[in-house]
Structure 1
């Protein structure tokens, strides 16, 4: 939580749920080891919610990439 808003969330098995700008969603969802986040099988969380696999986060630069994307969106959200 940053500024009382979800930015990222650790998921079971080490994956990361990342809240991103809807404007950047398509590009970010196309990143290696990223996918549209689901709330249960086949239930998409929608635009701006991306799940990143744990294996992609082992690299500190990739983890920083995702944290930066989440914080960029967090700073832009006013409500």
Structure 2
């Protein structure tokens, strides 16, 4: 499955004005890097992958449509996957900001 082009454009808009942003296609999706570190990615499998502090991940997974990111059967600490149906104009910028903050800390 190709990544969601509309969601990618919404992420670009949320990142508008953020310095040192780059885009890179990875694993069938589109990753957005800040300062060379991945912040968020529009997943080829659907949804938004968000990098965040592990403590924030614990909080975010209590929200509807947010799950821990799992790759090859293992949970990725500090990563969550957000269902695109829950990404309204309030939540999307929040998740993008969390990803940018985590990327800057990396």
**TMscore range, shorter length:** 0.7 to 0.9
Kindly indicate whether structure 1 or structure 2 has the higher relative contact order, using CA contacts under 8 Å at least 6 residues apart: 1
Structure whose residues are more often strand by fraction: 2
Aligned to 1:33: 65
Runs (5+) with no aligned partner, structure 2: 1-32
TM-score by length of structure 1 reads: 0.81
Moved over 6 A (4+): none
TM-score by length of structure 2 reads: 0.62
- Would you say how many aligned residue pairs link Structure 1 and Structure 2? 74
- Tell me the distance in 2 between the aligned counterparts of 1:37 and 1:9: 12
Structure whose residues are more often helix by fraction: 1
Runs (5+) with no aligned partner, structure 1: none
Compare CA radii of gyration and give the structure with the larger one.
2
